[in-house]
Chain A
Amino acid sequence: MTLLRVRNLAVTYPTSEAMVRAVDGIDLDVHAGEVVGLAGESGCGKSTLALAVARLLPRGAVMSADEMSLGGTDLRTVADEELRSLRWRRLSLVFQGAMSSFNPVMRIGDQIAEAIRTHEPDSYRRDVADRVGELLNQVGIAPARSEDFPHQMSGGMKQRAMIAMALACRPELVIADEPTTALDVMTQAQILDLIRRLADELGLAMLIISHDLTVLAELCDRVAVMYAGRIVEIGEADEIFGAAGPAHPYARRLLDCYPRLEAGQGSISGIAGSPPDLARPPSGCRFHDRCDQVIPRCNADDPTLHLVPGSAGHLAACHLVCAAQAVGR
């Protein structure tokens, strides 16, 4: 059952010089109980996508989509009050940098309780307090720490508290934006374990956003790779991280950026060049100026997502991969 359906989502930011299309025509599905990953470099629009879905874009941003629905609700046109009601109850977020995502003058427990009480205003204090304790326990924090202020918790602990808070109203979908960035490697591993465990236990649908493909490899059922506001590859995690590796040249280079234990003494490479200026996107394929396998057609023709030959559901937007395929979506 498809929980989140997004079709042709575009987000534009007006800047002082021009309009920047941070998200340029994205299609994305998240099914119930599924963990989907969204990968890409900084600035490719992944966070914008998350904010757009949650209707949390900053003032001035312009959003358009052919479809954007959560369950039966059309997120584009939903009224303010209903939007507020479905927030956190059906869709919650875990933000990157939990360091500053908590109100510094309110106790952690109170902030979690606030979420619960907003959506269940008739609950008893005692019940809410118990719930908060349970939630903290679930993520491995002693319930007594609910009296703490954010500055009294370590980074990893705050991230876990954020996760606990995100689960407070038992949402259908959780969007996690860079949940492990800004944490040290040890803590990262702990958080990843936690997320995986919770997703399994609670049957959560999750959309996990990260620039770190290794994180997504561990957690996700399906992975999408974004570049310059577009999804350039999407498919089952097994296929993308499998033996053959990703189909799209950018995704391959992205994966090469992270060392793999089995690969022996390989060298880590970066990707030369930088992402295109989204105010003035280049003609043809947006990656063509940095691609090491570019062919003449890439300069002129902007490739769309096509089925990778020999797969069932693995799509990539590259002329090389899907040269003659004319199969639509």
Chain B
Amino acid sequence: MTGPVINSSLDTQPVNGHGAGGWRGALRQLASDRMGRIGLVIVATVVLVAVAGPLLVPYDRTAVAASRTGILQSPSAAHWLGTDELGRDILRQLLAGTSVSLEIGLIATLITVLIGTAVGVLAGWFTGFVDAVLMRITDFFLVLPSLPLMIALGAIIGQSLTMIVFVIALTSWPSTARIVRSQALAVREREVVARAKTVGLSSAGILWRLILPGVMALVTANAVLVIAGSILAEATLSFLGLGDPTRTSWGQMLHNAFVTGAVGNGYWWYFLPPGIGIVIVVLAFSLVGQSLERILDPRLAAAA
């Protein structure tokens, strides 16, 4: 619409890969974006609950009901969210589950990001044969349907939260790797890298000082979304009976609710709260993640 400006898609961004202002700038932009702000607030609240909850309102697994009348009670003054099939307070379980669900999500994400970034950066930097091999492996894992794989591994390895973390990471790293790889390829083409090479910086040096920081922004945005996905995955696996029955996660609570027939019998206080908790946390991380993606990836911002 204006004159003959040739639209250049060559990126003229600073080396650190995201918009002006660095990390603080990104954070500020995040806070100014309505959805991002809401997400951040919720995440902060949830983290607070996860940390403070068990301290203020501790949950004792062994505090079972003394008699039959204590079990599966609907909400009352004594138990704000009622009791489960063993008479245990559901509100306390809910609060205790917050930290478990978050913990799993975070650890799984950490591993996913480590593997995915490593593979993506190496593939994007070395290209050629290394890239081809790594991408074939990545694509193969991408093609394998994640839930059946996680179920199969879970059944074989055995129930435990460690197993859950492991299988989530195993099925999540490929998509991170792909994203990191494209970004690494883009960073590789930047002038800064060519100059660094002429100056004599070693491959390892370039990788560490230029490529890695260049992909960090996108990795962060992706990581937040991976957290959301991991929490959902843990909930699903625990619900299907692959979780650790001795540790209360929201998914585990839902599993217990389901096998106790809470749905069929209408014990809404049992299966509603954990599900709502999951939705809120996952939504919050998704909001933040999508916001970050919009801020840090200029191509997405144009289309939003």
Contacts and interface: CB of A to CB of B under 8 A. Distances in A.
Interface in A181-206: 181-182
A92 B160 CA distance: 69
Contacts of A211: 3-4
A181 B2 contact: no
Contacts, number: 24
Contact of B1 (A40, A48, A181, A182): A48
A96 B6 CA distance: 11
A225 to B, nearest CB: 13
The secondary structure that dominates the B interface is loop
Contacts of A42: 2-5
A311 to B, nearest CB: 28
Contacts of B6: 182
Interface in A36-71: 40-44, 46-48, 51, 58
Contacts of A51: 1
A178 interface: yes
Contacts of B2: 42-43, 47
Contacts of B5: 42
Interface in A115-152: none
- Which one of A40, A42, A44 has the highest number of Cβ atoms from chain B below 10 Å of its Cβ? A42
A48 B3 CA distance: 10
Interface in A6-62: 40-44, 46-48, 51, 58
Nearest to A210: B4
B4 A178 contact: yes
A188 to B, nearest CB: 12
Contacts of A182: 4, 6
A177 B250 CA distance: 61
A183 B103 CA distance: 58
Nearest to B5: A42
Interface in B1-28: 1-6
A125 to B, nearest CB: 36
Nearest to B7: A97
B206 to A, nearest CB: 35
Nearest to B4: A181
B168 to A, nearest CB: 39
Given A42-B4, A43-B3, A211-B4, 7 more contacts: A40-B3, A41-B3, A42-B5, A43-B2, A178-B3, A181-B4, A182-B4
19 contacts: A40-B3, A41-B3, A42-B2, A42-B4, A43-B2, A43-B3, A44-B3, A46-B3, A47-B2, A47-B3, A48-B1, A51-B1, A58-B1, A96-B4, A178-B3, A178-B4, A181-B4, A182-B6, A211-B3
What 7 A-B pairs come out closest when comparing CB atoms?
A42-B3, A181-B4, A43-B2, A47-B1, A42-B2, A211-B3, A42-B5
Interface of B: 1-6
Interface of A: 40-44, 46-48, 51, 58, 96, 178, 181-182, 211
